[in-house]
Amino acid sequence: MKRLNFLQSFRGFDGLFSYLERLSSGDRFLFWLTTIVLVVSIFWSGFVINKQVSVLLPIEGGTLREGIIGTPRFVNPVLAITRADLDLSNLIYSGIMRRTTTGDLVEDLADSVTVSSDGKVYSVALRKDVYFHDGQPVTAYDVVYTIELIKDSGLKSPNRGNWNTVKVELISDYEINFILDEAYFPFMENLTQGILPKHFWEPLLVDEIPFSQLNTEPVGSGPYMVTDTKRSSDGLISSYNLTAFTDSIYNPKIKDIRTKFYASDEELLSALQTGDIDSTGALSVSALDKVNLDEFNVIQYPLPRTFGLFLNHNKSAILRDQSIREALNVAIDKQDLVDKILSGYAKPTDSPIPSDFFALESVSKETSDSGAEEAKRLLRQGGWTQSEAGNWVKDDDDKEQVLSLTITTANSTLFTEVADYISEVWRNLGIQVEVAKFEQSDLIQSVIRTRDYELLLFGTDVGRSLDLYPFWHSSQREDPGLNVALYTHIDADAYLENFRTEPDPSIRSATLQKLNGTIVSETPAIFLFNPTFVYVTNKEIGVFAVERISKPSDRFDTIPQWHISEASVWPLFTNKK
């Protein structure tokens, strides 16, 4: 067959088809096969290169469905106490300062915050481009109104203790001074307080505020605003729809957040498992055990709280014996307690300071014996002997003293299970133990305030600033102080006082180490564990977790960065700042 010159024969598509017609059927097959392979290769190479080079970037859109236990009542940062109220308040309101993903405080409503050289005056200049959800600007008048309202004893705000002695000075429309009686370095944390719109609340008398509809129809300046409210047949709020506030400084990625409220753990768990909600931070430890963790992202946030047994030697002379206190402590396998009672959602501790918030130097005593054997050795060392019946006894002024103790705690699932675990450990050791349980209000009024207990199973919340003063300074031994161990030590008092006022972080750190060593060496309490807050989301939610949160609602401090929708983009087209 006469060979054809391809370049002469191929003139446009007509030439191509003419050329193909002259080819044999085998040559045409090879031509089309080669063409198909070439086209597929080009597309596949493009796909591979795009996958290797492109990056996923969060984009605006999507709806987050958040499940919460309880019914909102005070969606108001001045009155919020419950998990539901605190979560919503953090989404709807904003403060002078806010936390970043690293846990650091940065300006929110503030343009700048300046601290005087003596640490007593905080001068705040507000941004001038921030508005409430109704379009009114946020000014210094709103800040002053909010703080003075908190300080009003008639309102009984849970935040009053943070502001009671702080003088608020209005400088201009956008400038305020906060004046302290004495330097207090943790004060900056107070500036995360959500700010109310004065023009909505000022017409109300103080005693009318708790009953105002504004508590459930909130207007703030935060990243999300209420756009719809649904109620059940009995009039209780069953859900809120929050929409990203487009005129804010935040530019949230998620368009809508739908908060759904449930009456029980079982209902909430069912909603998560059936896909009615995307996320929740309200599941109990027992409910978390039923979640298929392979299907969800589970984020654990350490909390600045320490649970322990606080010893009152005024009610039990036995507890003045150092050998007793040490034996009671060493007998408890704290890791086993955390694994069995909290399913691992906590960290065992021997310190009053939460370990995830401060790098502690070890002060625990090493021993090769088991906890039970070491406890028995310490008891014998303290002059105690074990009777034929297995009880520990000691002769005291010709009178036989039996080692017998009572643990007092709240009548709740967690505290009951922890108390039962510890009492079983001690009983197996030969110690007589009783457990007294009280409802929360009775525990506070009849037990804690009167200091009527031998061992109090209790939790302390020292906050992100690690201010242990209310719990360990000798001046706080009587109500309303929270030194429930009735601890007194002249060196510890000095450390606590210096820690509050010292501006140098390195000196504060060294002071905290000394304080920890002093307290632990005397065993005024048996420290058990630091709890974690567990947040469960489906795997489509991009959560920017906050380090060192103070309370569960703080997880929403980074909500503007969270996302559901993503787009694949080449780096060339991303914004570089």
Report pLDDT digits (tens) over 74-116: 999 999 999 999 999 999 999 999 999 999 999 999 999 999 9
Helix (H) or strand (E) holding 87: helix 83-92
Nearest residue to 301 via CA among 101, 70, 519: 101
Q: Facing residues of 433 across strands?
A: 405
Query: How many Å separate Cα 331 from the centre of its chain?
Result: 31
247 pLDDT tier (thresholds 50, 70, 90): confident
Q: What angle do CA 116, 151, 82 make, to 5 degrees?
A: 110
- The CATH homologous superfamily for domain 305-532 is Dipeptide-binding Protein; Domain 3 (3.10.105.10)
CA-CA distance, 293 to 299, in Å (whole number)?
11
Residue 178 Cα distances to 110, 169, 188, 241, angstroms? 13, 6, 10, 36
Residue 135: DSSP 8-state: S
Model confidence at 234: pLDDT above 50: yes
Q: Supply the pLDDT for residue 576.
A: 46
Closest CA to 237 of 80, 78, 64, 88: 88
Residue 509 burial (C-beta neighbours within 10 Å; 0-12, 13-18, 19+):
middle
Rounded distance, CA 144 to CA 178, Å? 10
Structure tokens at 12: 């446009």
What contacts 28, CB < 8 A, 6 or more positions away?
20
Beta bridge partners of 168: 178
Return the H-helix or E-strand segment holding 162. Answer: helix 160-163
Name residues whose C-beta falls within 8 Å of residue 442's C-beta, 6 or more positions apart in sequence: none
Q: What are 250-260's pLDDT values in tens digits?
A: 999 999 999 99
Cβ atoms 427, 405 nearer than 8 A? no
Q: What 8-state DSSP symbol labels residue 246? A: T
Q: What is the pLDDT of residues 335-360, one digit of tens each?
A: 999 999 999 999 999 999 999 999 88
Q: Which two tokens stand for residue 315?
A: 């009610």
Is the pLDDT at 398 greater than 80? The verdict is no
What is d(CA 262, CA 82) in angstroms, rounded to the nearest whole number? 14
- For residues 559 and 91, the answer to whether their CB atoms sit within 8 Å is yes
Would you state the pLDDT for residue 360? 84
Burial status of residue 63 (CB atoms within 10 A of its CB: 0-12, 13-18, 19 or more):
middle
Report helix, strand or coil for 305.
strand
| Token couple for 176 | 């305020």
- DSSP-assigned states of every residue in 425-474: HHHHHT-EEEEEEE-HHHIIIIIITTT--SEEEEEEE-TTTT--HHHH-G
* Confidence tier at 41 by pLDDT (50, 70, 90): confident
Q: State yes or no: pLDDT of 1 exceeds 50.
A: no
Chain segment 458-504, per-residue pLDDT in tens: 999 999 999 999 999 999 999 999 999 999 999 999 999 999 999 99
The tokens of 455 are what? 């061992």
CA 474 to chain centre: 29
pLDDT tens-place string over residues 510-536: 999 999 999 999 999 999 999 999 999
Provide the H-helix boundaries in 334-461. 334-341, 371-381, 413-429, 440-442
- Residue 50's pLDDT is 56
- Residue 367 CB coordination number (10 Å): 12
CATH topology (fold) of 63-278+540-573: D-Maltodextrin-Binding Protein; domain 2 (3.40.190)
Q: What average pLDDT does the segment 370-378 reach? A: 93
> DSSP readout, 499-513?
HHH---HHHHHHHHH
Q: Identify the three-state secondary structure at position 192.
A: helix
Q: Give the Cα separation of 70 and 60 in Å (integer).
A: 30
Whether the Cβ atoms of residue 564 and residue 254 lie closer than 8 Å to each other: yes
**What secondary structure, in 3-state letters, does 3-65 show?**
CCCHHHHCCHHHHHHHHHHHCCHHHHHHHHHHHHHHHHHHHHHHHHHHHHHCEEEEECCCEEE
Which residues are paired to 408 by β-bridges?
A: 436, 456
- CA separation for the pair 301, 346 (Å, rounded): 10
Asked which of 8-12, 147-151, 228-232, 510-514 is least confident by mean pLDDT, the reply is 8-12
Three-state DSSP state, 136: coil
Quick one: angle between helices 322-330 and 371-381, nearest 10? 170
Contacts of 228 (CB under 8 A, 6+ apart): 240, 241
As a whole number of angstroms, the distance between CA 365 and CA 348 comes to: 15
Per-domain boundaries in the chain: 6-53, 63-278+540-573, 305-532
Mean pLDDT taken over the chain: 91
Query: Which tens digits make up the pLDDT trace of 126-161?
Result: 999 999 999 999 999 999 999 999 999 999 999 999
